[in-house]
Structure 1
Amino acid sequence: MEPGTLLYDPATDTVGEYQDKAGPYALLRPVGGGREWQADPESLRPATDQERMSAGVRAANYRPRTDAPFLVSAAPQPDPDCARCAELAELRAAARAARDYSAETDANVLLRKHRSEAHPV
């Protein structure tokens, strides 16, 4: 068996990713990561397409919401003495007032880019 192969373990009714062999056991890890478990290699079989898809969806649903790209950072602050910073902050405020969150994000991206180029730390 190749590492990374998805196998169904009937003893746990779980699909796991094959890691390695340890003595008489196969080591499997949950799809998406987690604690390995030992399984009887004779009872394992390749996971079906449906089982693989279910395991992938389960892993995505349990992924912490702090993982990138979900990590939300604080909005960039404008430099008090910069006209371009003030202009971008005004664009952001107008977008927020209009509940146009896409435009608000765009203004934040532009403000971060401007600050990194014009006001390096």
Structure 2
Amino acid sequence: MRDTQHQPGALFYDPAADKVGEYQDRSGPYAMLRPVGGGREWQADPATLRPATAEERLSAGVRAANRRARTDAPFLVGIGTPRPPAPEPDCAECADLASRRESARATHDYSAETDANVLLRGHREREHRE
């Protein structure tokens, strides 16, 4: 593959690794590729690389999104949903529900985190109306 085709960010299929990566740069005789969505770079033989097909690009993007969903689930909070409610100062019940929410978040129990948010929101509406 000629150097004019190596553009940073371009997606290439590496048959030796059997995966698609974003071209980063050259390092000696190797092309440096990074997984779509980020991760550890790997070295590839530039002569064997080919541009990724539309299907390969889509598949790599879906894998990256799935990987983010498994590791960064809190990024889903706030997408089409209201922000988590804030506890009122000096309210024991608010503090308890916020504590439950934080414990659930720390253990990646997103169902319990959502439950605590619903309970806290309801408590705030009943007890702390302005």
| TM-score normalized with structure 1 length | 0.61
Computing the radius of gyration over CA atoms, which structure comes out larger, 1 or 2?
1
Alignment deviations for residues 1-54 of structure 1 (CA, whole Å, 9 cap, x no partner)? 110000000001100000000000000000000000000000000000000000
In structure 2, the partner of 1:101 is none
Aligned twin of 1:68 = 75
Gaps of 5+ in 1: 81-91, 97-110, 115-121
CA distance in 1, matches of 2:56, 2:47: 19
The 1:74–1:19 alpha-carbon spacing in structure 2 relative to 1, beyond 3 Å, is same
Unmatched 5+ stretches in structure 2: 1-5, 91-120
Q: How does 1:93-104 map to 2 (within 5 A)?
A: 93=122
Runs of 4+ residues deviating >2 angstroms: 65-71
> Alignment length, in residue pairs?
89
Q: Secondary structure at the match of 1:68?
A: helix
Q: Structure 1 pair 42/35, CA: closer, same or farther in 2 (3 Å)?
A: same
Give the alignment's Cα RMSD to 1 decimal.
Answer: 3.4
Q: Name the SS of the counterpart of 2:17 in structure 1.
A: coil
- Structure 1 residues 6, 65: closer, same or farther in 2, change over 3 A? same
Letter in 1 for 2:65: A
Compare the two structures and name the one with the higher helix fraction: 2
Paired residue for 1:11?
16
The aligned residue for residue 26 of structure 2 is: 21
Write the distance in 1 (CA, Å) between the matches of 2:16 and 2:8: 20
TM-score under structure 2 length normalisation: 0.57
Quote the offset at 1:69 in angstroms: 4.3
Aligned amino acid, residue 35 of structure 1: R
Task: Give the counterpart letter for 2:21 in structure 1.
Answer: G
